[in-house]
């Protein structure tokens, strides 16, 4: 589909999942790819929150290295004011794109941007929590436009370092199992090292898993071939729109590969409602997670809506 269609479908899916009883709907940040239409999550968050009434809406995530912490704090302060107690600010360190696009996103292109995520995070939290030291030159900038409302902060990650940072400052932690399906030990270390006098009084974990549900195991496995193909090509540096299952099956058969085999290094929970229920429960138990977030990539929008509907029935 076109990018414009995908954006409208995201709003439609948010309305659908709210009716089904889901608690959160997050949108990501990626740049320079024909696969995903999500370059500015704060724009889509506003549109989705305005089209719904109670589901929490957030970023999964804002790629902080691209931005001034003040700009992010101000934008999400405004969203929190417009949609009180409903906005999540999930933060990531990754670029969400390739090195050329990362450079194009920079305002100052005289040299690559610094790797100073911990300092950026500390500054952003100081703005949002209104605890910038009085002697700091930016102290008056904590008067954010949306006060007294603030977004709920989460740190995203798919590697050990993100878990270390989340524990150090006491942030809730969302781990991308759909990228790195070996993160249970990272989540456990995060809980052990969690600083209870930080942002959150207790550790909280969301595990985000790749899930596709259909009426039968076979149907779900066929739907999952679309994402398998794009991730296979992504590793080869070939970015393209999500293909139909028919095109994906033909692609794998031409390569002499089983089209129903999971991509290397990724976990996909695909199957009937019973199969998916068992898979989601297993992932939640593995991570000892308070919440499971479902990432569903299909070629067909109706199939995607149906997947969330079937899962809602088996919770």
CATH number at residue 39: 3.20.20.30
- The pLDDT value given to residue 103: 84
Give the 3-state secondary structure of residue 250.
helix
Q: Per-residue pLDDT tens for 215-260?
A: 999 999 999 999 999 989 988 989 889 999 999 999 999 999 998 8
Both tokens of 265, joined, read 């290094």
- The pLDDT value given to residue 202: 96
Q: Is residue 254 part of a domain?
A: no
Q: Is residue 250 part of a domain?
A: no
Q: Is residue 98 part of a domain?
A: yes
d(CA 298, CA 303): 7
- The pLDDT value given to residue 33: 86
Q: Is residue 115 part of a domain?
A: yes
Instruction: Decide if pLDDT at 94 tops 90.
Output: no
Average pLDDT value for the chain? 94
- The pLDDT value given to residue 90: 98
Q: Is residue 184 part of a domain?
A: no
- DSSP H helix total and E strand total for the chain: 11, 8
Q: Is residue 214 part of a domain?
A: no
Residue by residue, DSSP assigns 258-304 as -TTSPPTT--EEEESHHHHHHHHHHHHHHHT-SEEEEE---S-HHHH
pLDDT-based confidence at residue 1 (cuts at 50, 70, 90): confident
Split into its structural domains, the chain has a count of 1
d(CA 277, CA 315): 7
Q: Look at the block and give the residue holding tokens 């500015």.
A: 40
The helix (run of H) or strand (run of E) holding residue 309 is helix 301-313
Show the domain range for 10.
1-157
Instruction: Decide if pLDDT at 57 tops 90.
Output: yes
- The pLDDT value given to residue 263: 66
d(CA 304, CA 25): 14
Q: Is residue 18 part of a domain?
A: yes
Q: Is residue 181 part of a domain?
A: no
* 75, 161, 308 from 315: Cα distances, Å: 34, 32, 11
- The pLDDT value given to residue 262: 72
Q: What are the φ/ψ torsions at residue 242 (nearest 5 degrees)?
A: -65, 125
């Amino acid at each position: 589909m076109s990018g414009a269609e995908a954006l409208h479908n995201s709003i439609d899916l948010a309305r659908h999942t709210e009716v089904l009883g889901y608690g959160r709907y997050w949108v990501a940040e990626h740049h320079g790819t024909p696969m995903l239409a999500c370059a500015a999550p704060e724009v889509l968050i506003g549109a989705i929150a305005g089209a719904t009434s109670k589901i929490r809406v957030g970023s999964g995530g804002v790629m902080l290295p691209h931005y001034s912490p003040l700009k992010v704090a101000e934008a999400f302060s405004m969203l929190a004011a417009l949609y009180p107690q409903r906005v999540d600010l999930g933060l990531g360190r990754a670029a969400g794109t390739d090195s050329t696009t990362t450079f194009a996103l920079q305002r100052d292109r005289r040299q690559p941007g610094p790797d100073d995520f911990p300092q950026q995070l500390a500054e952003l939290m100081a703005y949002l929590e209104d605890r910038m030291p009085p002697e700091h030159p930016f102290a008056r900038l904590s008067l954010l436009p949306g006060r007294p409302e603030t977004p709920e902060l989460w740190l995203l990650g798919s590697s050990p370092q993100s878990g270390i940072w989340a524990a150090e400052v006491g942030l809730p932690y969302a781990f991308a199992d759909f990228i790195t399906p070996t993160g249970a030990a990272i989540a456990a270390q995060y809980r052990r090292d969690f600083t209870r006098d930080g942002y959150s009084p207790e550790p909280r974990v969301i595990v985000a898993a790749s899930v596709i549900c259909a009426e039968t195991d076979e149907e779900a496995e066929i739907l999952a071939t679309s994402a398998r193909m794009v991730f296979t090509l992504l590793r080869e540096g070939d970015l393209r729109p999500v293909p139909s299952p028919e095109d994906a099956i033909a692609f794998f058969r031409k390569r002499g590969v089983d089209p129903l085999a999971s991509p290397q290094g990724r976990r996909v929970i695909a199957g009937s409602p019973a199969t998916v229920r068992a898979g989601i429960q297993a992932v939640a138990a593995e991570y000892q997670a308070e919440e499971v977030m479902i990432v569903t990539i299909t070629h067909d929008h109706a199939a995607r809506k149906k997947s969330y509907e079937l899962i809602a029935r088996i919770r």
